[in-house]
Amino acid sequence: MVAYGSYDRCMRFIKGHGTENDFVLLPDLDGSLDLTPEMVAALCDRRAGIGADGVLRVVPSKISGDPVAEALAGEAEWFMDYRNADGNIAEMCGNGVRVFARYLVDAGLAAPGEWPLATRAGLRRVALGSSGDVSVDMGPPEVRGSGSAVVAGRSYDGLRISMGNPHLACLIEEPVRGLDLTRPPSFDPAVFPDGVNVELFRQVADRHVEMRVYERGSGETRSCGTGAVATAAAAAIAAAAAPETGALPAGDWLVDVPGGRVTVTFDGTTSHLRGPAILVAQGETRAGWPA
């Protein structure tokens, strides 16, 4: 394994985003890249690095070094190794999966169509063409009861929902554009031992909500795919369209985020997230960076 502690050779990268939730993708086709938290944080730095909400290492599942991915290697050729901007490992990223899949097709590493990807939250099946939006089977939202968080000195109540990673989706009455998400929310670590992504959302029309999110390890982001699904689930429950337990009723929900719009679909069994996945640029870091 090559550990980038000395950063003594160049790394190839691709920059992409899904509704402006942006990522640095690092192709690691031979499984030789051993990312350190410091390197991830340096890459994601918006002033001294490339700038991103997170890093996606593109690696074959069978040589990924991750036990979950290697156990899934017989079902999914590729593993999305996702790290938050602070360098910490994360389980899942809905926008990241779409950008990851778009890169595989663009690079000729996978064909357009439907196929599974390995993530730390398990298999996620994607569907995409040679261009256009990407759809991901996100699995059924798991509602774990009520919870609360304090944002900018104000307490918000919401639903604790797992999408493979933890969320607190809070329904509010005021427009989301006036919220102060410059500081990390505070919460009870006994309730959220792994931290939590906090979504504040407002219903603007039938099956249509607007949302902002503070992501653990990244701060406020322009979009969050797993958060959009968690928000749509919480909105369905708040609208009395579904109980807190059992399958959510079939139908589409539009979720507006600062970076655009995604569509969440419940089919009575699982959830699907559909939205854009844009590849912006590619290049190489300079050998010796960061010094």
Structure confidence at residue 245 (pLDDT): 58
Structure confidence at residue 4 (pLDDT): 43
Structure confidence at residue 6 (pLDDT): 45
Quote the CA–CA distance of 275 and 235 in Å, as a whole number.
19
Q: Say if strands 251-257 and 271-275 run parallel, antiparallel, or are unpaired.
A: unpaired
Q: Say if strands 208-215 and 219-221 run parallel, antiparallel, or are unpaired.
A: antiparallel
Quote the CA–CA distance of 96 and 65 in Å, as a whole number.
20
Q: Could you list the active site residues?
A: 93, 224
Q: What is the 3-state secondary structure (H, E, C) of 72-140?
A: CCCCCCEEEEEEECCCCECCCCHHHHHHHHHHHHHCCCCCCEEEEEEECCEEEEEEECCCCCEEEECCC
What is the model's pTM?
0.92
Q: What is the 3-state secondary structure (H, E, C) of 217-263?
A: CCEEECCCHHHHHHHHHHHHHHCCCCCCCCCCCCEEEEEEECCEEEE
Structure confidence at residue 249 (pLDDT): 81
* pLDDT, tens digit (0-9, with 9 covering 90-100), for 101-160: 999 999 999 999 999 999 999 999 999 999 999 999 999 999 999 999 999 999 999 999
Residue 9 is inside which H or E element, if any?
Answer: none
Structure confidence at residue 126 (pLDDT): 98
Structure confidence at residue 3 (pLDDT): 43
Structure confidence at residue 288 (pLDDT): 86
* CA distances (Å), origin 98, targets 28, 185, 209, 237: 18, 27, 21, 26
Tens place of pLDDT per residue across the chain (291 aa): 344 444 567 899 999 999 999 999 999 999 999 899 999 999 999 999 999 999 999 999 999 999 999 999 999 999 999 999 999 999 899 999 999 999 999 999 999 999 999 999 999 999 999 999 999 999 999 999 999 999 999 999 999 999 999 999 999 999 999 999 999 999 999 999 999 999 999 999 999 999 999 999 899 999 999 999 999 999 999 886 555 555 688 899 999 999 999 999 999 899 999 999 999 999 999 988 987
Structure confidence at residue 248 (pLDDT): 83
Phi-psi region of 99 (alpha: psi -120 to 50; beta: other; left: phi over 0): alpha
* pLDDT, tens digit (0-9, with 9 covering 90-100), for 194-205: 999 999 999 999
